[in-house]
Structure 1
Amino acid sequence: MFKILLIEDDATLFTEVKDRLAQWSYDVHGITDFGRVIETFAAMKPDLVIIDIQLPKFDGFHWCRMIRTHSNVPIVFLSSRDHPTDMVMSMQLGADDFIQKPFHFDVLIAKIHAILRRVYNYNTEPLKLKTWCGATIDYEKNTVTNEAGTIELTKNEIFILRFLIERKNTIVTRDIIINSLWDDQRFVSDNTLTVNVNRLRKTLDELGLGRFIETKVGQGYMATEEAHFHD
């Protein structure tokens, strides 16, 4: 479980961000004394820091400087300030990203996933075979095989399929998929995502699997398991 230090003095926003990130198994901690941020940071040893600019006593830039004297931990600014100089300053101080308030939680989560994946290399283990709905998915060959035969998917399609299967029986929003594809060096627009998912489902239909990729109108997509249809 990754530990995240959220340096935010808005109690309502802090609770909402903490609850949303907890759904993705992130362990989020806050600050009780905004004059002792470094002490909290040193004791916690977080894997990522999210920090607001406007804070009591010292601003976020001050604490970013202080953290950078101790650690190269990834830092994300989360702020309502939108002046270009604030964004430039955050990057010059060593921040990894700047997210402006108000923000979409799916975007925040996708960016956190991307930064942690890049910094800690946590999901770059060799791809393995995966079994889903009685079919074998080969992520290296981009193929899906069952008793009906074998189909080959495009790189985008296998990425989407894997992304959904890893979160099976959970609705994954379009924004999360788009941002994850973009960070993986595959730019996908909203319309392109629709085309890719429709093509993926049509190709899976050749093996009788298309119906297990469900569209949740106004929400996103969900990969189900065969047992889901026999309840």
Structure 2
Amino acid sequence: MYRIMIVEDDEAIQNSLKQALLGWGFEVRTLRSFKQIVEEVIAWKPDLILMDLYLPEKNGFYWTAQIRKISSLPIIFISSADENSSILTALTQGADDYITKPFDMAILVSKIQALLRRTYDYTPKSNILEHHQVRLDTDSGEVFYKDQSIVLSKNEERILKILMEHKNQIVSRETLMEALWKTDCYIDENTLSVNINRLRKKLLALGLEDYIQTRKGKGYMI
């Protein structure tokens, strides 16, 4: 599992980044103190750093230059400063990429994956399914959306997995029941409906209304 260190003092952005990256299968560490960032890097050995520009004590330019003295690991700047001078300074100090706030999480993840591919023998985790910004970790049964997550039951996870594997296609109730029959649970029409409703309620708790659509007489789709 690849490690990403987030050097960001805005707690809301920090938590949002952490939840999103966990959903993509990364191991993530955030910092509470910004006085010994180099020591934190040496101790934890991240594979990539997300570096904010405006930090307490000293800025991201300074810390990037210090990190470059001991490591060539990829560093991506995330900053609200969009002036060419800031971007050029970051790259001159050793940053590999620069993305301005507010940013699209999908674009940031693509940049992270591209840098990891170039730097290491990186392949995105195959157990992560994604559709319309919703990510399902089929190992843990956890669903991630924006900066939130929720854990599904085994049956709920199987239902969502099948729907995500057939996104934009109608999946019949018979197909879902057949897949759930492979578990140790007895599944009938009513049991399937109960599991679908429970899954919908959990997705709604994440802010996903009508994520699973019913196609009357045919089945379900996302």
Q: TM-score, normalised by structure 1?
A: 0.57
- Superposition deviation, residue 63 in structure 1: 0.1
- Superposition deviation, residue 171 in structure 1: 3.2
More contact order relative to length (CA 8 Å, sep ≥ 6): 2
For residue 131 of structure 2, the aligned residue among 131, 151, 172 is 172
Q: Distance in 2 between matches of 1:67 and 1:91?
A: 13
Structure 1 partner of 2:168: 215
Structure 2 partner of 1:33: 33
Structure 1 partner of 2:86: 86
Unaligned runs of 5+ in 2: 134-164, 181-222
Structure 2 partner of 1:107: 107
- Superposition deviation, residue 3 in structure 1: 0.9
Q: CA RMSD in A?
A: 2.9
- Superposition deviation, residue 214 in structure 1: 2.4
Unaligned runs of 5+ in 1: 124-162, 175-211, 217-225
Q: Distance in 2 between matches of 1:56 and 1:5?
A: 17
Matched residue SS, 2:78: strand
Structure 2 partner of 1:13: 13
> Is the CA contact 2:131–2:167 (under 8 Å) kept in the aligned structure 1?
no
- Superposition deviation, residue 39 in structure 1: 1.1
> Is the CA contact 1:74–1:115 (under 8 Å) kept in the aligned structure 2?
yes
Q: How does 1:112-123 map to 2 (within 5 A)?
A: 112-123=112-123
Query: Cα deviations across residues 142-184 of structure 1 (Å, max 9, x unaligned)?
Result: xxxxxxxxxxxxxxxxxxxxx9x9467x33349xxxxxxxxxx
> Is the CA contact 1:51–1:76 (under 8 Å) kept in the aligned structure 2?
yes
Matched residue SS, 2:69: helix
Q: Tell me the percent identity.
A: 34
Matched residue count: 147
Write the letter of the residue equivalent to 1:48: L
- Superposition deviation, residue 101 in structure 1: 0.2
Call closer, same or farther: CA 1:92–1:228 in 2, change over 3 Å.
farther
Q: How does 1:43-62 map to 2 (within 5 A)?
A: 43-62=43-62
Q: Distance in 1 between matches of 2:112 and 2:131?
A: 16
Q: How does 1:120-131 map to 2 (within 5 A)?
A: 120-123=120-123
Matched residue SS, 2:110: helix
Matched residue SS, 1:73: coil
Write the letter of the residue equivalent to 1:7: V
1:95 paired with 2:48, answer no
Q: Distance in 2 between matches of 1:43 and 1:87?
A: 28
Q: TM-score, normalised by structure 2?
A: 0.59
